[in-house]
Amino acid sequence: MKITRGDEFLGHFMKSKTSDRKFCTKCGGHVLTDHPTFGLVDVYAATIPGLKFAPALHVNYAETVLPMKDGLPKMKDFPAELGGSGQTVPE
C-alpha cells in the first residue's frame, strides 16, 4: 500500500499495539488502519474511487459501536489466519 498524495494530512491514534488508526486531519475521515503486529493494513474501501467492493465479513466486531444487521459473519477480532482468535460473535 502506498499513499500517493495527502500524506501531510494524515493523523493517527494508536489504540493498541495492534491498531494504529489513520485519519484525515482536515475532515476527520477514516483512511486506514495499520496493524503492525499482523503485517496488515486495512484500507477503507470508500477511499478508493471506482473500487467495486462486496464485503464478506466484519472484523473487530466485539468493539463495534454501530451494529450492522446485514447477515455477514462478525469476527470478534481477526480471522485466525491473520493472527486473530478466529471467533465469531452474534449479530
What pLDDT digit, counting tens, does each position of 2-57 carry?
A: 888 899 999 999 988 888 999 999 999 999 999 888 888 988 888 888 888 888 99
- The pLDDT score that the predictor gives to residue 76 is 95
Sole residue written with cell 503486529 = 37
8 Å CB contact between 6 and 19: no
Confidence check: pLDDT of 86 > 90: yes
Confidence check: pLDDT of 1 > 80: no
Q: Hey, where are the domains in the chain?
A: 1-50, 54-91
- The pLDDT score that the predictor gives to residue 84 is 86
Sole residue written with cell 477514516 = 30
For the chain, first and last CA: distance in Å? Answer: 31
Residues 6+ apart with CB under 8 A from 69: 91
